Amino acid sequence: MNIILLGAPGAGKGTQATRIAQKYGVIHISTGDMFRSNIKEGTEIGKLAKSYIDAGKLVPDAVTCDIVKDRLSKADVIGGYLLDGFPRSLFQAEELGKFADIDLCLNLEVDTALIMDRICGRRVCSCGETYHVSTLKGETTCAKCGNELYRRDDDNPETVKARLDTYNVMTAPLIAYYAAQNKLATVVCGNKTPDEVFEAVCAVLDK
C-alpha cells in the first residue's frame, strides 16, 4: 500500500504517519525530516531549503522531486510507503505519477485557528520529542532526555500564516486532483485527540 498523507501544516500528519507506519508496516518517508537532516548537516541542499522554509515558502520542485525519487528507489519501500509532506503542488503530483504508483491520498482536515495554536505553541527537543506549551506547565526541558526545549524558527505566527497561505494556493488543489482519480479519503480531525483521529484513519485504511 502506497499512501500520500495530505493536510495543512500542523494538521497532525507526523503523529498519524508514525502510527500508520507502525500498524501497517509501511515506510514513513517525510520530506520535512530529509530537509531538516540536510539543514542540520549544513549541506548545499540544506542551506537552500532553509532559506525557503524560514520564509514560509516551498522548496523548489526540482530539488524536492529528485530527493523523493531517489528515496523511492531504495529496496526498503517495496512493501509499501507513506509520503508525508510530498507532493505539495500539482506539478509535484504529476512528476510523482511518473515514477510511483499511489493507492490512496489520505487528507487530514483541521480548522485554521486550531492549526495556528498547535504550531505556535509547539516546542521540540533535539532528541525528536515534541510538546505543546499547554501541557508543559512551565517546564522547559525534555521529559525523555532532559535537554532544553526550543521553538523552531518557522513556528512563529507570521511564518505559520505564510505557510498556510502557500498551502491553500499550492497544495489544497491536490484534494480535487486525487478525488478525480478516486484515490482520495478525507478524515476530519477538528478538536479530536490523536487517538480519535487514528481510529478514523484506520477505518479508512482497513477498507
Quote the cell numbers at residue 141.
526541558
- Of 112, 93, 117, nearest to 184 (Cα)? 93
Bridge partner list, 81: 2, 27
Active site residue 88: yes
The active-site residue, picked from 36, 152, 161, 192, is: 152
The active-site residue, picked from 36, 69, 122, 192, is: 122
Torsion of CA 24, 202, 17, 12, to 10 degrees: -170
- Of 150, 121, 152, nearest to 135 (Cα)? 121
Q: Helix count (H) and strand count (E) of the chain? A: 10, 7
Active site residue 163: yes
Active site residue 152: yes
Task: Say if CB 29 and CB 68 are below 8 A apart.
Answer: yes
Task: Say if CB 119 and CB 10 are below 8 A apart.
Answer: yes
Active-site residue numbers?
13, 88, 122, 152, 163
